[in-house]
Structure 1
Amino acid sequence: MLTNIRIVLVQTYHPGNIGASARAMKTMGLTDLVLVSPRCFPDSEASRLAAGAEDVVDGARVVQTLEEAVSDCVQVVGASARLRSLPLPHFDEPEAMAQELVAHAATDPVALVFGRERFGLTNDEIRCCSHQVSIPANPDYGILNLSQAVQVLAYETFKAWRQRPDSQYRQPRPAEERQPTREQLTHFHEHLGRVMQASGFLTQPHARTEVQLQALFARARPSRKEISLLRGLLRSLEESVKDD
């Protein structure tokens, strides 16, 4: 199950933070590290600060976009110090986030996403996530460095894994009842956008409308079977538009 839990670091500037994050991961049993366009990697500083977790650093995958990093994941939680304009479901407590993440990881890949050292994740990157989580801290000085944030959320995840009710994982849910991957959701939203354009519902690009609909489905959390049903409805509407 822990192998299904992925740590994603977006555009890490200091290679030492990659090594320190890998060390934080390994102490909590996590090994799947993905780096999105790091400034400098591989780098000796990353290996030096891994301090025994060099295998996690050596096994890290480098990709160019966050979409590529999480396309196969059914839940993607973005670590953010503050709420953004996109109204995604938000975990105020890391413990609650970890329990849900571990439950999904029993059958499918999931991801925890961390942004840049200076300004975190952009709004576009938050839109690639299904949820957000914040780490409660001193309101007068709530600053955590990257590896500290990774350590806190990795610890909560490991704790939830240790405390999981074994009976919950003996019979995995059927595939159609599980959450869709981010790739499947992306295809659905692209399909929905095409139908809205073709039907005349959108006569010009309306980014805000599409963002609001994405947030709506993020809160609704349809299953794979429900997404398939909605895709079938969209195909039927497409045929009706063509016939007209």
Structure 2
Amino acid sequence: MLSNIRIILVQTFHPGNIGATARAMKTMGLTRLVLVNPRAFPDAEATRLAAGASDVLDNAQVVSSLEEAVSGCVQVVGASARLRSMPLPHFDEPDDMAQSVMDNAQHQPVALVFGRERSGLTNAEIRCCTHQVSIPANPDYGILNLSQAVQILAYELHRHWRRRTDSGFVYQTPSEAIPPTREQFGHFQVHLSQVMQRSGFLTQPHARTEEQLQALFARAEPSRKELSLLRGWLSALDAHLPQQSDS
């Protein structure tokens, strides 16, 4: 289960935070570190603060986009200090997040995404996620260092993994309830957009309609089977629409 969990850092500015994150991960049995456009990596400061977790750094994957980082994942949880105008399903407690992530990590890759030190994740990056999680903190001073946030959420994951290992409990996700990958959900969103545009439902005065409907389906958390049914429904609708001319 733990090997199916990716920790993703987006555009980390201070290389020391990458090293401290690697240390936080290794103490909790996590090894899959993915870096999206880090400012400096590899870096001596990252190695110094890894403090014995250099193997996590050595095996870290560096990619150019968040979409690439979450490829193949069935659940992507964005760590965010605040809700956005169109929130995804949100875990108010890290404990609830860990339970859900560990259920999915038994069978498929999952990811936890952490944003920039100062500004966090953008709205576009949040839309690459399936869920959000916040860490309850002092409302007068809720600022956490990047590696501290990783440590807290990694601890919750390890705690749930340890409980399951000690008890021998293994949750078997029914085949009809397996969530789609981000690529599969992305294909659905493109299909939905195309049908809305061709049907005339999506017009310029309602520019946010597409975004709102995509958020609605994201909150519904359809399984792969349900997403396939929705794709079939869209195809049936599309077949009754006037065909567009190539000229």
Tell me if TM exceeds 0.5.
Answer: yes
Distance 1:66 1:152 in 2: 22
Matches within 5 A, 1:124-143: 124-143=124-143
Shift of 1:43: 1.2
Q: 1:117, 1:145 within 8 Å by CA — same for their partners in 2? A: yes
Distance 1:186 1:57 in 2: 30
Structure 1 residues 216 and 48 mapped into 2: Cα distance closer, same or farther (>3 Å)?
A: same
Amino acid aligned to 2:36: V
Q: 2:215: which partner in 1?
A: 215
Is 1:149 aligned to residue 140 of structure 2? no
- Structure 1 portions without partners, runs of 5+: none
Q: 1:57: which partner in 2?
A: 57
Matches within 5 A, 1:1-244: 1-164=1-164, 166-169=168-171, 171-174=172-175, 176-204=176-204, 206-242=206-242
Amino acid aligned to 2:5: I
Runs ≥4 in structure 1, deviation > 6 angstroms? none
Distance 1:6 1:103 in 2: 15
Shift of 1:167: 3.6
Distance 1:179 1:205 in 2: 33
Structure 1 SS opposite 2:73: coil
Structure 1 SS opposite 2:6: strand
Structure 1 residues 192 and 21 mapped into 2: Cα distance closer, same or farther (>3 Å)?
A: same
Cα deviation code 1:134-165 (max 9, x no counterpart): 11111121111000000000001100111136
Structure 1 residues 74 and 141 mapped into 2: Cα distance closer, same or farther (>3 Å)?
A: same
Distance 1:32 1:198 in 2: 42
Distance 1:196 1:98 in 2: 36
Cα deviation code 1:169-222 (max 9, x no counterpart): 3x4532x42000111101100000001101111133854112211211122111
Q: 2:73, 2:182 within 8 Å by CA — same for their partners in 1? A: yes
Structure 1 residues 200 and 95 mapped into 2: Cα distance closer, same or farther (>3 Å)?
A: same
Structure 1 residues 188 and 61 mapped into 2: Cα distance closer, same or farther (>3 Å)?
A: same
Distance 2:199 2:140 in 1: 51
Q: 1:78, 1:131 within 8 Å by CA — same for their partners in 2? A: yes
Distance 1:173 1:145 in 2: 38
Q: 2:78, 2:129 within 8 Å by CA — same for their partners in 1? A: yes
Structure 1 SS opposite 2:8: strand
Structure 1 residues 190 and 205 mapped into 2: Cα distance closer, same or farther (>3 Å)?
A: farther
Distance 1:58 1:74 in 2: 26
Distance 1:186 1:205 in 2: 24
Q: 2:3, 2:31 within 8 Å by CA — same for their partners in 1? A: yes
Distance 1:172 1:64 in 2: 32
Decide which moves more: 151-160 or 197-206. 197-206
